[in-house]
Structure 1
C-alpha cells in the first residue's frame, strides 16, 4: 500500500472512531510504529489532524482567522446563542469571552436585561454599547489579534478582582479525551484563569467544534457546568459529559 493511500485510510478511521492509536494502526497496516508516527506528523503538518501522545484526534476547524470564522456555521451559532442567553439573569455579573459565538450571544440579548458584563474583548465591549441597561467593564492588556482579545500579565492581574456568576467561554474543541482546547497557549491560560473567577462556566459550541481538538488544553470537561450545543451529541461525548456532571442544553 502506498503511503498516500494509507494516510487517506487513517483519516477515514479518524473520522469514524474520533481518535486513532499509533500501536493499533501499526498492527492494522502491518508496518512499524515509526512509519505510523511519520504519517501522523505529515498529516498534522497539513492541518488534517491533531497529534496527541500515542496517536491523534480530529483537528478543530475553529482555529481559522477571525474574519473567516465569522462566516462558519452562522445559523448554528445563532441557535446556540439563543439558548445560552436565557441563562443570564437580571443583576448578575457575567464574564464574556471573545469569539464569533459569544459575539452572536451579544446580538441575542434582550434590550430590557440589566446585568454587569466583564470582557477582555474590544469587539464584545463595542457590541454591548447598544444595551443601556448593561454595565460594561473592559479588561485591558496586550491584544491577541487572532481572537481579538487581551492577554498578558496585566490582564491576568485585573481578573483577580472579580467574582462573576457566569463565564461564557469560547473554545475550539470539545472532545471526550482531550476536554476543552484552543489554538494558542496564552489564550488557554487566560480562559482557565477566567473560569476560576466564575461560579459557573458555560461553553457554547457549534457542531464543528465537537469531537475535535486543538493543540492547547484549557481543561477537562468538568471545567464547565453547562455545554450549549446545536443538535444532538453522539453517545461517547454525551456519556463523557454526564460523567463530568456537565449539563447539556
Structure 2
C-alpha cells in the first residue's frame, strides 16, 4: 500500500474510531510500527492528527486562525451560546473565555443584564460596550491567534478574582485526552480562570467533540458541565458520558 493510501486510511480510522493505536494498525496492515508511526508523525505535522503515546487522536479544526473560526459551526455555536446564557442567574459574576462561541454568548446575553463580566478577551470586552453589565478586562501578553491575554501577568491578575461561573472555550473534547487547546500558555490561563469560579462550563460546538489538540487544559470530570448540541444518543456523546463527562444538551 502506497504511503498516500495509508494516510487516507489512517484519517478514515481517526474519523470512525476517534483514535489509532499504532501497534494494532501495524498488525492489521502487515507493516512495521515504525511505518505507521512515521505516517502519524507526518499527519501530525500537517495538522491532521495529534500524536499521543502509542498512536494518535483526531486533530481539532478549531485551532484554525481566529478569522477562519468565525465561519465554522456558526449555528452550533449560537445554540450553545443560548443554552449557556440560560445558566446565568441575575446579578452573577461571570468569567467569559475568549473565542467565537463566547462572542455568540454576548449576542445572546440581554443588554439589561446587570451582573459583572470578567474576560481576558479584548474582543469580548468590546462587544459588551452596549450592555449594562460591569466589565473587567484582564490584561497581559496578547495571544493574537485567539485574541486573548495570556502569560504570567494575565495569570497573576486572574488569581485575584473570583466568580460564580466560568464559560470555557477549548479546541478539543475527547473521551481520553479530555479538554485540550493548541497553546501551552493559553491552556495555563484557562486553568487559572477555572480555579477562580464556583462552576465551570465548557462551550463545545460540534467540531470540537471527539477531537483533540496538543495541550491539556482540564480533565472531563474537573468541570461542572460540557454544553453541546451533539445528541445524547450519538456515539461520541455516549463515549464522553462513559468517560465521566457531565453533558448539558441544548434544546434546539
TM range (shorter): over 0.9
Q: Distance in 1 between matches of 2:241 and 2:223?
A: 9
Q: Secondary structure at the match of 2:170?
A: coil
Distance 1:123 1:20 in 2: 38
2 CA distance for matches of 1:242 and 1:97?
27
Distance 1:13 1:239, change over 3 A: closer
Aligned-partner SS, 2:176: coil
Q: Supply the distance in 1 between the matched residues of 2:7 and 2:65 (Cα, whole angstroms).
A: 27
Note the residue ranges of structure 2 that are not aligned, 5 or more in a row.
none
Would the alpha carbon gap of residues 41 and 203 (structure 1) be closer, same or farther in structure 2, given more than 3 Å must change? same
Matched ranges for 1:104-123 at <5 A: 104-123=104-123
Give yes or no for contact 2:60–2:211 (8 Å, CA) kept in 1.
yes
Displacement, 1:74?
A: 1.1
* 1:93-132 → structure 2 map (5 Å cutoff): 93-132=93-132
Q: SS state of the match for residue 136, structure 2?
A: strand
Q: Following TM superposition, by how much is the alpha carbon of 1:4 offset from its aligned partner in structure 2, in angstroms?
A: 1.6
Within 5 Å, give how 1:16-35 maps onto structure 2.
16-35=16-35
Query: 1:66 maps to what in 2?
Result: 66
Secondary structure in 2 aligned to 1:143? strand
Cα deviation, 1:36-79, whole Å, max 9, x if unaligned, reads 10111111122211111110011000001101111111111111
Name the SS for the 1:89 alignment partner: coil
- Alpha-carbon distance in 1 for matches of 2:9, 2:109: 45
Stretch of structure 1 that moved more, 222-231 or 183-192: 222-231
Q: Kindly provide the CA deviation profile for residues 98-129 of structure 1, in whole angstroms up to 9, marking residues without a partner as x.
A: 00010000010012222111001111111111
Q: What TM-score results when the alignment is normalised by the length of structure 2?
A: 0.95
Kept in 1, the 8 Å contact 2:58–2:211? The answer is yes
After superposition, where does 1:197-208 map in structure 2 within 5 Å? 197-208=196-207
Does residue 184 of structure 1 match 2:183?
A: yes
Structure 1 spans left out of the alignment, 5+ residues:
none
Over 3 Å counting, the alpha-carbon distance change for 1:74 and 1:181 in structure 2 is same
2:6 — aligned with what?
6
CA-atom RMSD in angstroms: 1.3
1:153 aligns to 2:146 (yes or no): no
Which secondary structure does the structure 1 equivalent of 2:90 belong to?
Answer: coil
Residues 182-214 of structure 1 deviation map (CA, whole Å, 9 limit, x = unaligned): 010100011011101111111111111000000
- CA distance in 2 between counterparts of 1:25 and 1:183 reads 26
How big is the shift at 1:221? Answer: 0.6
Which residue in the other structure is 2:77 paired with?
A: 77
Matched residue SS, 1:87? coil
Q: Structure 1 stretch 155-164 or stretch 117-126: which is displaced more?
A: 155-164
| CA contact 1:175–1:237 (8 Å) conserved in 2 | no
1:217 is aligned to 216
Query: In the alignment, is residue 244 of structure 1 matched against residue 250 of structure 2?
Result: no
3-state SS of paired residue (2:187):
helix
